[in-house]
Structure 1
Amino acid sequence: MKPKILFIMHMPPPVHGAAMVGQYIHDSKLINGEFDCHYINLTTAKNLQDIGKVGMRKLFDFFKLLRKIRHEVKVVKPQLVYVTPNACGGAFYKDFVVVQMLKRLGCQVVVHYHNKGVVTRQDRRLDNALYRRFFKDIKVILLSECLYDDVKKYVKRDNVFVCGNGIPSASIESFVSAPFDAAFPEDKIPHLLFLSNLLISKGVVVLLDALKILKEKGSRFACDFVGGETVEMDAAMFQAEVVKRGLEGMVVYHGRKYGKDKEAFLNAADIFVFPTFYHNECFPLVLLEAMQHRLPCVSTTEGGIPGIIDEGKTGFLVPKYNAAILANKIEFLLSDSAMRQRMGEAGREKFEKEFTLEVFEKRMAKILKICV
């Protein structure tokens, strides 16, 4: 008989990195073929804006979730329970209750982190005590070896597995020149692409500052910003920042794009730039998408990103918040098309080797077999 596994994980909606990976696991023919799989959605948020908020409705939903988990454990009697918890804050306290209940029910637990922040709270007396109980007698899956420092106070390295995320391989058609309503003429000006919501912590302003430096140095470029508006920055606020730096005509915000519309921007780009300093950034799937499309990537040393980008081979890693160094690395790529092509090809090779959905599924199935 196949080993029984109960997956308690985030799945869409809302759509975010951890939820998408949860959906990939849920839909995986390999994982569902190797194990007798049962699924519970850990999400209590209705949309992205609802994440992190506390209210009576969410509290009621959480108690419903606990009852559902208890019932499923008693009926299924899983040999392993897989959980995707939050690392810190109020969401951790919720997930702490879930994991402790599973332990009391006699379950073997493996937790898969898509976020970080344990190290930022471990010196608080309450959190330290909770972390010691939380991590006792469980296995941990991390997205990158770089992230072990976040939990090493509580987890021995022998109890940690590393499983980088993967994404579906784009169809051949998506790499063929697609209709692209570009705001710039079809000349040889290199296109930079930023693909994320308009959040300060994703590096929007840092990138605009770097582009101002490049313009003042005489660099020729066009930069497309693709992603959703946020409370921090909407389209009007973004345009005001563009005007303040004199970047009109060189920088254009296109809003949120999906599917073929998003693929068109990836196809049209020459360089992918993602100067994030988001405190919860672990393993940005947008970097995998860029590598899949043979784009050299310029990003930061945040989270597990150093495990994605090979410095000087598939792109560049720059210090967080540093617009001058970011501009310098972009300038290298703008001035050398051969370097862009070499890095893009190396990125595509690494994607095929490490970050396809098939590779992820095989790696995850292997880890689950060890944990059962």
Structure 2
Amino acid sequence: MKKIALIGPFPPPVHGMAKNLKLLADQLSAIRPVLQIDTSPMSLERNARYHFIKFKKLTLGLYLLITSLFRNKISCVYMPPDGGLGGYHSLLYVLACKIFKTPLYLHHRSFAYIKSKTFPMSLIVKLQGDNTTHIFLCHKMKKEFELQYGLLKKSIICSNAQYVTPIDSTALKSTSNEIILGHLSNLGFGKGLAQVFKVCLGLKETGIPFKLILAGPPENAEASAYVKKIIVELGTACEYLGKVDGIMKKTFYSSIDIFLFPSNYKNEAQPNVLFEAHAFGIPTIAAEIGCISEDVNICNGFVFKNQQEYVSDAISSITELHHKPEKLRNLKRTTLDSISRSSIDSKESYKHLQNLLLQDYF
């Protein structure tokens, strides 16, 4: 019996791409057999062990795919291309699909090779088979990809907004004099941890009543030490939850007024946490990167193009919302309305993607 091959990093560690890939695998495996080829390095800390495990898994995964293709056991292949040096392994996977004339779905979940043209992605586009379909997270991503690599024959848009279910408007958090700020990620400097802290220090200096709820595991020892520094310096104005999931994550979003996301992570594409916050009616103050400028607008928050000025711009926006609580209440309502529409449209696109993967099974 033929299987749908899913290639990429499955948890652990837990991050957007890994979580989304596992969810797709679970959904498809309930209908058809799935071959999971896990390329996860098992850690977020990029050391020698990280690169060794990743290289080993990519190589073994390629062997498994080729042997399965040779035995005619694969109906189609789905893969998010690697945004780093693993792009050369992604190229080999693409060539294997071309040789065996197997339908391939490349789900782009990184802007690393879109912001800067790379040799492996150039070869992937040049050498891909005719039955290759490219999947993008937003229209901006597709446009910038094609500017770098040329027009594509087959592509679809499938936003991460499909993963959330918005709350009922009656459950929106009421506002108070104290503004509750939230930040959730695999905590690190690439995700804007230092900028979040500086925003809080600025608010403290100006006398704006606030509280920061920080959530997520530190990505390394340096980030862990910085989190401890934030907790000490902010005192009672900071609450650290650590890793959150399930009910704890829902409690986190239900407790905050504004979500801070000043990410400068090179692979940042379309973070799930933005849509999760919006699904609770929580507006976002974000830095422009990846698809964020398309996903965050005047209806659901603020996005600042100049990341160097994020801290001052965020402080100004929070100060204004503190002095105009009705504006914050309206922003919460429009945030919820906006994600409700986006989620419906995205779920339809995601269903179309699943149908494409399943149709190649027959």
TM range (shorter): 0.7 to 0.9
Contact 2:196 2:262 in 1 (8 A): yes
- Name the residue aligned to 1:219: 208
SS of 2:252's partner is helix
- Name the residue aligned to 2:35: 39
- Name the residue aligned to 1:182: none
SS of 1:257's partner is coil
Contact 2:157 2:349 in 1 (8 A): no
- Name the residue aligned to 2:147: 152
Out of 315, 328, 349, the position equivalent to 2:316 is 328
Alignment of 1:220-299 (within 5 A): 220-231=209-220, 233-241=222-230, 247-299=234-286
**Following the alignment from structure 2 to structure 1, what is the Cα–Cα distance between the partners of residues 266 and 68?**
34
**Following the alignment from structure 2 to structure 1, what is the Cα–Cα distance between the partners of residues 19 and 115?**
26
SS of 2:242's partner is coil
Give unmatched runs, 5+ long, in structure 1.
Answer: 178-185
The yes-or-no answer on 1:190 pairing with 2:179 is yes
Q: 1:7 to 1:145 in 2, by over 3 A?
A: same
**Following the alignment from structure 2 to structure 1, what is the Cα–Cα distance between the partners of residues 124 and 96?**
15
Between the two proteins, the alignment pairs up a number of residues equal to 351
Contact 1:295 1:340 in 2 (8 A): no
Contact 1:139 1:371 in 2 (8 A): no
Q: 1:78 to 1:229 in 2, by over 3 A?
A: closer
**Following the alignment from structure 1 to structure 2, what is the Cα–Cα distance between the partners of residues 188 and 317?**
24
SS of 2:85's partner is helix
Q: 1:368 to 1:332 in 2, by over 3 A?
A: farther
Q: 1:21 to 1:121 in 2, by over 3 A?
A: same
Percent identical among aligned pairs is: 21
- Name the residue aligned to 1:181: none
SS of 1:211's partner is helix
- State the AA in 2 paired with 1:222: K
Cα-to-partner distance string for 1:122-166 (whole Å, 9 max, x where unaligned) = 2x6x54753453556432111111212135322415533211012
The yes-or-no answer on 1:143 pairing with 2:137 is yes
Q: 1:134 to 1:119 in 2, by over 3 A?
A: farther
Alignment of 1:1-80 (within 5 A): 5-28=4-27, 33=31, 36=32, 38-49=34-45, 53-55=50-52, 58-76=54-72, 78-80=74-76
Q: TM-score, normalised by structure 1?
A: 0.82
**Following the alignment from structure 2 to structure 1, what is the Cα–Cα distance between the partners of residues 274 and 47?**
23
- State the AA in 2 paired with 1:14: P
Cα-to-partner distance string for 1:186-217 (whole Å, 9 max, x where unaligned) = 97412111111221121111122222222222
Q: 1:140 to 1:152 in 2, by over 3 A?
A: farther
SS of 1:6's partner is strand
Out of 270, 294, 303, the position equivalent to 1:307 is 294
Following superposition, the deviation at residue 285 of structure 1 comes to 0.5
The yes-or-no answer on 1:107 pairing with 2:96 is no
Following superposition, the deviation at residue 227 of structure 1 comes to 1.4
Following superposition, the deviation at residue 5 of structure 1 comes to 4.2
- State the AA in 1 paired with 2:51: V
SS of 1:141's partner is strand
Q: 1:203 to 1:129 in 2, by over 3 A?
A: closer
SS of 2:195's partner is helix
- Name the residue aligned to 1:180: none
SS of 1:106's partner is coil
Task: Please tell me the root mean square deviation across aligned C-alpha atoms, in Å.
Answer: 3.3
SS of 1:348's partner is helix
Q: 1:221 to 1:241 in 2, by over 3 A?
A: closer
**Following the alignment from structure 1 to structure 2, what is the Cα–Cα distance between the partners of residues 103 and 51?**
33
The yes-or-no answer on 1:318 pairing with 2:304 is yes
SS of 1:282's partner is coil
Following superposition, the deviation at residue 229 of structure 1 comes to 1.9
- State the AA in 1 paired with 2:353: M
Out of 157, 163, 166, the position equivalent to 2:158 is 163
Following superposition, the deviation at residue 72 of structure 1 comes to 2.4
SS of 2:303's partner is strand
- Name the residue aligned to 1:183: none
The yes-or-no answer on 1:133 pairing with 2:126 is yes
Give unmatched runs, 5+ long, in structure 2.
Answer: none
Bigger drift between 254-263 and 271-280 goes to 254-263
Bigger drift between 230-239 and 218-227 goes to 230-239
Contact 1:199 1:232 in 2 (8 A): no
Contact 1:28 1:361 in 2 (8 A): no
